[in-house]
Amino acid sequence: MDTSEASNLPSNKDDFPLARTALTWFRDSVRYRGVIGTLGEFAERSWEFVRDMTPERRRSRYGDLQFDFDHGVNTTWSNVGLRTRLREIFAGEKYQPIEADQFHEMIAALGIDCGEFTFIDMGSGKGRALLLAAEYPFRRIIGVEILPELHAVAEQNFRRFKDERQKCFQLQSWCGDARDFEFPDEPTLLYLFNPFYEPVLKDVLEKLRTSLSDRPRKFVLLYVNPLAESVVKGARFFKKVAGTHQYSVFEPKADLAIG
C-alpha cells in the first residue's frame, strides 16, 4: 500500500513517556473534576487495569481475530503490551477495535457520498477502523494516535493489508496529542470510538469549533459508544441528526455549515 502521499500533514512522532503522560492527565483531570474527583477517577482506572490483567478478561477482549487472519494484520486488543496498557490509564480510553459488521452498518446508515469526504479517526490505535474505511472511496484516510507503539503497528498494518475491495489507498497514521492535530480544510467524516476522557474531548471540540467557524465545510461526526455525548451537546455548535444506542451522528449547526 502506497502511503507516501497520504497527507501533507506534518508528522509528530515525539515519544510520550509515562511520567509526562500521567502529569498531563492529572493536570487536565484536576481542572475538570477537582482533586477528589481526580483521585476517584485514578482509583477506578487503576482497578480496571488490574481487572484487565486477569486471564478471563483478556480472553473476552480478543475481538474479531478473523479480520486479522483474513487480511494479514494485527488489530486486536489482546496482544497490546503491558507498557501500553499502563499508559492507557492516562492517555485516554483503552484501545478497542470496532467490529467490521458494525462499522459497515454505520457507514451505510450515514447515507453520504464517501468520495466527497476525508475520513479521520481520532484515537485510531492499531488502525482497524482505518483499514475498514479503506473499503470506501474516501479522498484520504487519517488516523490520530497518541501512543507511538500503537501508531507504529498501524503503519505496519497499512503495508500488510490486503483486500480486493479496497478503494482508498491514501492512508496515514499521525502520532501525537489530538489537541495538537490541525483539521484539514476539506469535507470530513470524523470518527470517534469514545477515545478521550472528557477534558480532552472538550479541548478537541473547541479547536474544531474554531476550524469550522473560520473555514465552513461539510462535516459529519460519527461518535461510537457515545458515553460523553453530553460534552458534544454542551459544545452547542453540533446538532444530533441520527443515532442508535451504539452511536450518534452530529453535524454542524446551520451558521457553521455550508449552505
Is 38 part of a structural domain of the chain?
yes
Look at residues 91, 112, 134 and tell me which one is the last residue of a structural domain. Answer: 91
Which residue from 200, 205, 196 is spatially nearest to 227, judged by alpha carbons? 196
| 3 in Cβ contact with 172 (< 8 Å) | yes
Mark whether 173 and 65 lie in a shared domain.
no
Number of domains in the chain: 2
pTM of the model: 0.79
Return d(Cα 244, Cα 36) in angstroms, integer.
Answer: 34
Please give the Cα distance from 44 to 58 (Å, whole number).
18
Pairing of strands 141-145, 171-175: parallel
| In a domain? residue 231 | yes
- Domain membership of residue 2 (yes or no) is no
In a domain, residue 115? The reply is: yes
| 149 and 109 in a common domain | yes
Report the CATH number at residue 178: 3.40.50.150
Structural domain range at position 52: 18-91
> Which of 91, 118, 147 is the last residue before a domain boundary?
91
Q: Do residue 186 and residue 248 come from a single domain?
A: yes
On whether both 110 and 50 belong to a single domain, the answer is no
* Domain stops at, among 27, 56, 91: 91
Q: What is the pLDDT along the chain (259 residues), one digit of tens a residue?
A: 444 334 445 444 445 566 666 777 677 777 777 788 777 767 766 666 666 666 665 555 555 678 888 899 988 876 666 566 656 666 556 678 899 999 999 999 999 999 999 999 999 999 999 999 999 999 999 999 988 888 999 999 999 998 999 999 999 999 988 999 999 999 999 999 999 888 889 999 999 999 999 999 999 999 999 999 999 999 999 999 999 999 999 999 977 644 3
Answer yes or no: are the C-beta atoms of 137 and 115 closer than 8 Å: yes
